């Protein structure tokens, strides 16, 4: 929020807290608050996989789902500071309930915990997302069905973003960005739903890894 009060955080106990003022008082220094997905997108636009691209959409797929929009090397968060928040677009009104109060948000279907929960619900064992993807690649029927459904949601959700923004590139970060299938079958799913005869938007893995967020935070002042 413009007054430094935290809002829309998945750490819900902090929502409504004057985090900006609290940090400045504790540190005795000027503080700028920014969403981690925005910092990720900025780092990749300035020094990573999207260098030289004017309109960059950064995607976080991990514990949650986030997004950041960078235009001409600057974060564009919008007057409500929600630009790029594709994680809370509803794509399945009958889907799982989200902490934000809606149902079927992208985050409830594309986060790592969502993939793991879908696998358990289909009869699979408790396993991390990377292991589920590996089992799918090895031919396990349950894992393959769950991963295909995940990729279909990925295609629907990201096609909506591309239809609205038409970015020069989409950069994927977060723990699930290491799943190679996102850039093959996942990209094919996006192509099925995008409003064009073909998908020309590059969908690429990040280059800066776990450091992207802190690099982007440093770049906010440059």
**Average pLDDT of every residue of the chain:** 94
* pTM recorded for the entire structure: 0.91
In this model, does residue 104 exceed pLDDT 80?
A: yes
Split at pLDDT 50, 70, 90, the class of 1 is low
Determine how β-strand 169-173 pairs with β-strand 203-205: parallel
Give ∠ CA 97-99-104 in degrees, rounded to 5: 35
State how far the Cα of 90 lies from the Cα of 30, in Å rounded to an integer: 36
Paired tokens of 96: 């799982």
Distance (Å, rounded) from C-alpha 9 to C-alpha 96?
18
Q: Pull the structure tokens for residue 79.
A: 């007057």
Comparing CA positions, the residue from 155, 132, 154 lying closest to residue 142 is: 132
Whole-angstrom CA distances from 8 to 29, 76, 120, 129 are: 25, 17, 28, 25
Gap between the Cα atoms of 89 and 44, Å rounded: 23
For residue range 106-151, list pLDDT tens digits in order.
999 999 999 999 999 999 999 999 999 999 999 999 999 999 999 9
Higher confidence at residue 17 or residue 212? Answer: 212
Written as six digits, the tokens of 82 are 């929600």
Could you give the domains of the chain?
Answer: 1-31 (no CATH), 34-219 (3.30.420.40)
**d(Cα 122, Cα 117) in Å, to the nearest integer?**
9
DSSP state of 94: T
């Amino acid at each position: 929020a413009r007054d430094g009060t935290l809002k829309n955080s998945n750490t819900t106990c902090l929502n409504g807290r004057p985090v900006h003022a609290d940090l400045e008082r504790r540190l005795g220094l000027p503080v700028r608050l920014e969403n981690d997905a925005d910092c990720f997108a900025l780092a990749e636009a300035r020094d990573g996989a999207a260098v030289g691209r004017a309109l960059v959409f950064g995607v976080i797929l991990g514990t949650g789902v986030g997004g950041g929009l960078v235009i001409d090397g600057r974060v564009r968060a919008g007057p409500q500071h929600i630009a790029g928040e594709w994680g809370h677009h509803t794509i399945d009104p009958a889907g799982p309930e989200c902490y934000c109060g809606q149902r079927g948000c992208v985050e409830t279907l594309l986060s790592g915990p969502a993939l793991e929960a879908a696998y358990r619900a289909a009869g699979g064992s408790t396993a991390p997302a990377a292991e589920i993807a590996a089992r799918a690649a090895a031919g396990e029927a349950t894992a393959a069905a769950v991963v295909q459904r995940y990729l279909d949601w990925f295609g629907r959700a990201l096609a909506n973003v591309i239809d609205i923004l038409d970015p020069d590139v989409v950069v994927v970060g977060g723990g699930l960005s290491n799943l190679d299938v996102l850039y093959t079958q996942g990209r094919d799913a996006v192509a099925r739903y995008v409003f064009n005869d073909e998908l020309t938007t590059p969908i690429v893995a990040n280059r800066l890894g776990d450091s992207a967020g802190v690099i982007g935070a440093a770049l906010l002042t440059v």
